[in-house]
Amino acid sequence: MPTSRAAKQKSYTGGCLCGSIRFEAVGPAKKPHTCSCKMCQRHTGALTAAWVEFPSSSVTWNGPGGAPSVYRSSDYSSRAFCPACGSSFGAIDDKPVVALLLGVFDKASAPELMPTGHSFGGGRPRWWHVDASSPTDG
Ligand SMILES: [Zn+2]
Ligand SMILES: [Zn+2]
């Protein structure tokens, strides 16, 4: 009988600046995209955020600080951050989805994490360029 190792899905790890909050997300990573909406900008401090989504059940918060703190940012979602160092992790939705920012991944270079679309392209300054294809990109 094959062990679970043979069918093991890809796992992604990451964590915050201080190392208190760590995660493991088991693939596949869904909907890799960038977003330049005002909420993402304020959440991250960056003009554009890069995201991937996982089912909540696929994400384990395994650092010494446990799960991140959350700020209720809309009717259906909360933004997650480290209470010790302030690093942004992304959005924990009420529907069982966790959307993680690529910047907190240990290795964001995996090709399947490359954003394939850009949301709210009009929210960024004209001099800020994002290399992601999208029919709605401005
Ligand atoms: Zn931290
Ligand atoms: Zn956004």
What residues have CB less than 8 Å from 63, skipping those under 6 apart? 15, 16, 19, 20, 21, 22, 23
The ligand minimizing its distance to the Cα of 101 is 2
- Virtual CA dihedral for 84, 81, 54, 45, nearest 10 degrees? -130
- Report pLDDT for 138: 41
| Cα(11) to centroid(ligand 2), Å | 25
pLDDT class for 137, splitting at 50, 70, 90? very low
The band of 85, judged by pLDDT with boundaries at 50, 70 and 90, is: very high
pLDDT of residue 102 exceeding 50, the answer is yes
Nearest ligand to the CA of 21 is 1
Average pLDDT, integer, range 10-26: 97
Residues 5-22 have a mean pLDDT of 88
Residue indicated by tokens 């069982």: 96
Whether the predicted pLDDT of 133 surpasses 60: no
- 23: CA distance to ligand 1 center in Å? 12
Q: Is the pLDDT of residue 58 over 50?
A: yes
Residues around the ion ligand 1 (C-beta < 5 A): 16, 18, 20, 82, 84-85
Ligand 1 centre to CA of 103 (Å) is 13
